[in-house]
Amino acid sequence: MSKKHITRKQFLKRCGVTIAGVAVISVSGLAVKRMLKREGEMFWQIDPAKCTFCGRCATDCVLSVSAVRCIHANRVCGYCDLCGGYYRTNVKDLNTAAENMLCPTGAIGRKYVEDPYFEYTIDESLCNGCGKCAKGCNSFGNGSLYLQVKQELCKNCNECKISKTCPSGAIVRVTAGKAYLLKDG
């Protein structure tokens, strides 16, 4: 009767696979536990149907740079050459000179797709939640740009300072399942 010997390499490989498996199961378990814990939690969010893009999200948040960011609903976008959320009104030339741009922080990127279509993206690290682009898009476009509270940035204050000053009552409490009120359809 011969005994099967395993090599050091095989032993280490089995140990590595076992440790990786335990780590994956542990992390998955923690994520599920956190998710279940947050299920009943309430979050502040902006109702896109009520928002008037007044600019108070950028100025009235307790954070120095607001937790509100512009979101782009790609499925709603018309990919316009003359985008109301990208360009200021009455621009003389359709070019990317700073005086033609609507976004004060340069958070909106534009990439040529094909004539006359452009793809627009939001750099959330530059966005301050002022809503100028969303107001322009909703006034002169399809309304694909809108504002949302980024939950990973929000302090989730008991009484949101922005909600107190919001003239349209667009800042509402929602459950974890609706932490983002999307405008993709």
pLDDT (0 to 100) of residue 155 = 93
pLDDT (0 to 100) of residue 33 = 52
* Residue pair 67/168 in contact by the 8 Å Cβ criterion: no
Structure confidence by residue, pLDDT tens digits, 110-128? 999 998 899 999 999 999 9
**Torsion over CA: 185, 55, 44, 31 (sign):** positive
pLDDT (0 to 100) of residue 36 = 46
pTM of the model: 0.74
**Residue ranges of the chain whose pLDDT lies below 50:** 35-36
pLDDT (0 to 100) of residue 185 = 57
**Chain centroid, CA 129 distance in Å:** 11
CA distance 74 to 83: 13
pLDDT (0 to 100) of residue 39 = 64
Q: Is 141 exposed, middle or buried (0-12, 13-18, 19+ CB in 10 A)?
A: buried
